[in-house]
């Protein structure tokens, strides 16, 4: 089936004219038609536009012009502004919003010949770890519990639609964003590779802002090599994002073939949390053994401030969100709720447009930035953030990369972890520190739990050394031989 | 630090989000739950630590102070909830 191909294999097949780009795109559009009504992975399917892009790809291929992603059908998280295609951020607030411009990352993908199938569902404004906060409904994880195939599991979040789409073979790859784990945790829940590159590697221009110092665009794919192909196209300097790094983009795909012989891999002891499922601990040990067998040296390291990462994040991220989301005022774009005077218009628009989790975070952010509390909360959090970065800097003085679990559990069911916001926040325990420090990290599918659900291992690297992250991720991928398939998939 | 109802109303007002009377108590409970959990940060010694504002670790880039974009009011106003000509429409703010 064309929908089962990797991006690398599809690239070769298109070049060899085994099939056309239109064939490939149509296969995915048919899969979306069949499965999206159930999975709800896409908020918007841009059928006609995708077919046009695929036709253009075939013209380019016929002329012998193949770029990195010519004719490759992708899902785009509905947080990336796409010119002329509605961009909702998973919120009622942006339900009428059609961007008149293209985000830098999606423009780069289009430049490299990619086909956009549509806009993938997500937690509202990327705030969530389950995709349950989307104003466009929850997403179903294509994976099922072996013992209970009636339970509807979450795909993780916030990039839940992207993960479900790639996992169910509705797209060959996808874009996501990761502010506290929003690429890596859904990748782990859906049996995918998800990469959060270094802060500054991918431009944030045209990505609906959540927390600007923590937001990282990155790719989802079914193999490490495919994620490397996607990241290379997405990355690069952008003068329109003042935090974009002016550095050359390495050949990430070549880095996948480097091997890990002689690399020093740190095992952060603080990631071994109480109450962590035995299976995740065992998988982590398995990963250590795999890397040792592949020639890496394993080193015990300490990141002493790890346990403060989440609480720090839940000050910094809401503070930045409260500031970023101030723009939604019902005047210039987005939804409007009319009221008496201007202030009433603002207050009604924002009460109506934001869901409960977004409102909660705006209020927390407003409070921690407000007069009298700034030092006690925000300034303290920024100082602890400095300590968390120092932990990584110290560790990377001794090792080339770190290995840890991605998430403290496998996918949970819709409705679980919903009663207490903090219970939901704990999903990001192992992923948040890399956002606070800005260091690159990937989740690689490494095994299944007793229910037959995927579990990921996380590889964390030095700033702007995604190449080592790809090398280590490939070693895990080769050792894990993860071949399990989700129950719900195209042709399945 | 624990939030009371008046503080919740004040924060909501600062954030320009209308909160109905019956929402104040549950919001107060939720926000206090989160803030209580955040209190754990008080056990960290932060003396002589400089705050980290972001992960970019680079100086802010400078560019020439020139206009590089603009001149398309139709695009800018295309998403306006309400407009007259090239203007956004809001409720009357000056009597």
ipTM for the complex shown: 0.96
Q: How far is B70 from chain A (nearest CA, A)?
A: 12
Q: How far is B53 from chain A (nearest CA, A)?
A: 6
Point out the least confidently predicted range of A82-91, A189-198, A268-277: A268-277
Q: Give mean pLDDT, residues A243-270.
A: 97
Residue pointed to by tokens 């005022």: A329
Q: Give mean pLDDT, residues A163-178.
A: 98
Q: Give mean pLDDT, residues A417-445.
A: 91
pLDDT at A424 over 90: no
Chain A CB within 8 Å of residue B41 CB: yes
Nearest Cβ partner for B41 among A100, A366, A384 = A384
Nearest Cβ partner for A382 among B15, B53, B60 = B53
What confidence tens digit (pLDDT) does each residue in A343-359 have?
Answer: 999 999 999 999 999 99
* A336 lies in some domain: no
Q: Are B91 and A345 contacting, i.e. CB atoms less than 8 angstroms apart?
A: yes
Confidence of residue A274 (pLDDT cuts 50, 70, 90): confident
The SS3 call for residue B9 is helix
Domain CATH number, residue A475: 3.90.1300.10
Q: Are A382 and B88 inside 8 Å of each other by CB?
A: no
* A151 lies in some domain: yes
Q: Are B93 and A438 inside 8 Å of each other by CB?
A: no
pLDDT at B55 over 80: no
Q: Are A114 and A97 contacting, i.e. CB atoms less than 8 angstroms apart?
A: no
| Mutant choice from A125, A332, A434, A461 vs B, greatest count of B C-beta within 10 A | A332
Nearest Cβ partner for B51 among A214, A382, A435 = A382
CA trace torsion A431, A436, A442, A443 (10° rounding): 10
Q: Are A490 and A169 contacting, i.e. CB atoms less than 8 angstroms apart?
A: yes
- Look at chain A and report how many structural domains it folds into: 1
Q: Are B34 and A314 inside 8 Å of each other by CB?
A: yes
Class assignment of domain B5-41? mainly alpha
The pair of three-digit structure tokens given for residue B72, joined into one six-digit string: 């398309």
Chain A CB within 8 Å of residue B8 CB: yes
Chain A CB within 8 Å of residue B24 CB: no
pLDDT of residue A254: 98
pLDDT at B58 over 80: no
HEC secondary structure over chain A: CHHHCCHHHHHHHHHCCCCCHHHHHHHHHHHHHHHHHHHCCEEEECHHHHHHHHHHHHHHHHCCCCCCCCCCEEEEECCECECCECCCCCCHHHCCCCCCCCCHHHHHHHHCCCEEEEEECCCHHHCCCCCCCCCCCCCCCCCCECCECCCCECCCCCCHHHHHHHHCCCCCEEEEEECCCCCHHHHHHHCCEEEECCCCCCCCCCECCCCCCCCEEEEEECCHHHHHHHHHHHCCCCCCCCCCCCCCCCCHHHHCCCCCCCCEEEEEHHHCCCCCCHHHHHHHHHHHHHHHHCCCEEEEECCCCHHHHHHHHHHHHHHHHHHHHHHCCCCCCCCCCCCCCHHHHHHHHHHHHCCHHHHHHHHHHHHHHCCCCCHHHHHHHHHHHHHHHHHHHHHCCCCCEEEEECCCCCCCECCCCCCCHHHHHHHHCCCHHHHHHCCCEEEEEEEECCCCCEEEEEEEECCCCHHHHHHHHHHHHHHHCCCCCCCCCCCC
pLDDT of residue A228: 98
pLDDT of residue B48: 92
Chain A CB within 8 Å of residue B94 CB: no
Q: What share of chain B is helix, strand, coil (3-state, %, to 5)?
A: 40, 5, 55
* A361 lies in some domain: no
pLDDT of residue B1: 58
Which residues in B lie closer than 8 A to residue A212 (C-beta atoms)? Answer: 54
Question: How far is Cα B25 from Cα A364, in angstroms, rounded to an integer?
Answer: 15
The SS3 call for residue B13 is helix
The pair of three-digit structure tokens given for residue A270, joined into one six-digit string: 């603080």
* A284 lies in some domain: no
Confidence of residue A492 (pLDDT cuts 50, 70, 90): confident
Q: Give mean pLDDT, residues A433-460.
A: 97
The mean pLDDT value of chain B amounts to: 92
Q: Are strands A42-45 and A115-120 parallel, antiparallel or unpaired?
A: antiparallel
* Cα A461 to the center of its chain, rounded Å: 17
Closest chain B residue to A372, measured at CA: B1
pLDDT of residue A79: 98
Q: Are A100 and B75 inside 8 Å of each other by CB?
A: yes
Q: What is the span of the domain harbouring residue A51?
A: 2-263+398-480
* A281 lies in some domain: no
pLDDT of residue A366: 98
* A252 lies in some domain: yes
The mean pLDDT value of chain A amounts to: 96
Question: How far is Cα B39 from Cα A380, in angstroms, rounded to an integer?
Answer: 11
Which residues in A lie closer than 8 A to residue B37 (C-beta atoms)? Answer: 311, 314, 422
Share of chain A above pLDDT 90, in %: 94
In the DSSP assignment, the letter for residue B60 is P
Please indicate whether residue A77 is annotated as part of the active site. Answer: yes
Given A20, A46, A77, A203, the catalytic residue: A77
pLDDT at A50 over 80: yes
Question: How far is Cα A409 from Cα A277, in angstroms, rounded to an integer?
Answer: 7
Q: Are B74 and B86 contacting, i.e. CB atoms less than 8 angstroms apart?
A: no
* A425 lies in some domain: yes
| Mutant choice from A345, A367, A432 vs B, greatest count of B C-beta within 10 A | A367
Given A20, A46, A134, A158, the catalytic residue: A158
Confidence of residue A418 (pLDDT cuts 50, 70, 90): confident
Please indicate whether residue A242 is annotated as part of the active site. Answer: no
* A458 lies in some domain: yes
Give the ranges where chain B is alpha helix by DSSP (H): 5-14, 21-38, 73-77
pLDDT of residue A47: 98
Please indicate whether residue A307 is annotated as part of the active site. Answer: no
Confidence of residue B61 (pLDDT cuts 50, 70, 90): confident
In the DSSP assignment, the letter for residue B87 is E
Question: How far is Cα B28 from Cα B11, in angstroms, rounded to an integer?
Answer: 11
Share of chain A above pLDDT 70, in %: 100
Q: Give mean pLDDT, residues A106-110.
A: 98
What confidence tens digit (pLDDT) does each residue in A279-327 have?
Answer: 999 999 999 999 999 999 999 999 999 999 999 999 999 999 999 999 9
What confidence tens digit (pLDDT) does each residue in A327-341 have?
Answer: 999 999 999 999 899
Point out the least confidently predicted range of A196-205, A369-378, A414-423: A414-423
pLDDT of residue A276: 83
């Amino acid at each position: 089936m064309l929908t089962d191909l990797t991006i690398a294999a599809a690239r070769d097949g298109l070049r060899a004219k085994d099939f056309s780009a239109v064939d490939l795109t149509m296969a995915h559009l048919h899969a979306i038609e069949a499965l999206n009504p159930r999975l709800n992975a896409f908020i918007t399917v841009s059928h006609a536009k995708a077919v046009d892009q695929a036709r253009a790809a075939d013209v380019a291929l016929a002329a012998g012009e193949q770029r990195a992603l010519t004719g490759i059908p992708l899902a785009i998280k509905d947080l990336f502004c796409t010119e002329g295609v509605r961009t909702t951020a998973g919120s009622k607030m942006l339900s009428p919003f059609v961007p008149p411009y293209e985000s830098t990352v999606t423009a780069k993908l289009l430049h490299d010949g990619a086909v956009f199938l549509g806009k993938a569902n997500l937690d509202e404004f990327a705030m969530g770890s389950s995709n349950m906060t989307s104003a466009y409904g929850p997403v179903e994880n294509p994976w099922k519990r072996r013992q209970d195939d009636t339970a509807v599991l979450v795909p993780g979040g916030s990039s839940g639609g992207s993960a479900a789409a790639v996992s169910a073979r509705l797209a060959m790859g996808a874009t996501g964003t990761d502010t506290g784990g929003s690429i890596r945790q859904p990748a782990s829940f859906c049996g995918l590779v998800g990469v959060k590159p270094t802060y500054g590697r991918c431009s944030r221009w045209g990505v609906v802002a959540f927390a600007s110092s923590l937001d990282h665009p990155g790719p989802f794919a079914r193999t490490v090599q495919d994620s490397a192909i996607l990241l290379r196209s997405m990355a690069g300097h952008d003068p329109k994002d003042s935090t974009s790094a002016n550095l050359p983009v390495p050949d990430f795909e070549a880095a996948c073939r480097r091997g890990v012989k002689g690399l020093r891999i740190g095992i952060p002891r603080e990631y071994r949390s109480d109450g962590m499922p035995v299976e995740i601990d065992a998988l982590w040990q398995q990963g250590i053994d795999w890397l040792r067998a592949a020639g890496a040296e394993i080193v015990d390291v300490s990141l002493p401030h790890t346990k403060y990462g989440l609480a720090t994040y839940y000050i910094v991220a809401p503070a930045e969100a409260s500031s970023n989301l101030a723009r939604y005022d019902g005047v210039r774009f987005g939804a409007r709720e009319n009221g008496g005077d201007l202030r009433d218009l603002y207050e009604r628009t924002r009460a109506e447009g934001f869901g409960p989790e977004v409102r909660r975070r705006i209020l927390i952010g407003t409070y921690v930035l407000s007069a009298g509390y700034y030092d006690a909360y925000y300034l303290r959090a920024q100082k602890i953030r400095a300590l968390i970065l120092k932990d990584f800097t110290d560790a990377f003085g001794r090792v080339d990369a770190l290995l840890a679990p991605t998430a403290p559990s496998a996918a949970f069911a819709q409705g679980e972890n919903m009663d207490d916001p903090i219970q939901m926040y704990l999903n990001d325990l192992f992923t948040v520190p890399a956002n606070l420090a800005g260091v690159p990290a990937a989740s690689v599918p490494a095994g299944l739990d007793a229910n037959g659900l995927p579990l990921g291992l996380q590889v964390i690297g030095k700033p702007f050394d995604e190449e080592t992250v790809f090398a280590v991720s490939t070693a895990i991928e080769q050792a894990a031989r993860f071949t399990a398939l989700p129950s719900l998939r195209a042709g399945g | 630090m624990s939030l009371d109802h008046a503080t919740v109303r004040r924060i909501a007002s600062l954030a320009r989000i209308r909160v109905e009377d019956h929402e104040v108590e549950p919001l107060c409970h939720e926000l206090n739950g989160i803030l209580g959990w955040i209190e754990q940060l008080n056990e960290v010694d932060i003396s002589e630590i400089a705050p980290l504002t972001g992960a970019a670790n680079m100086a802010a880039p400078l560019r020439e102070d020139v206009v590089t974009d603009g001149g398309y009011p139709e695009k800018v106003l295309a998403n306006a909830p309400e407009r007259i000509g090239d203007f956004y429409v809001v409720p009357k703010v000056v009597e």
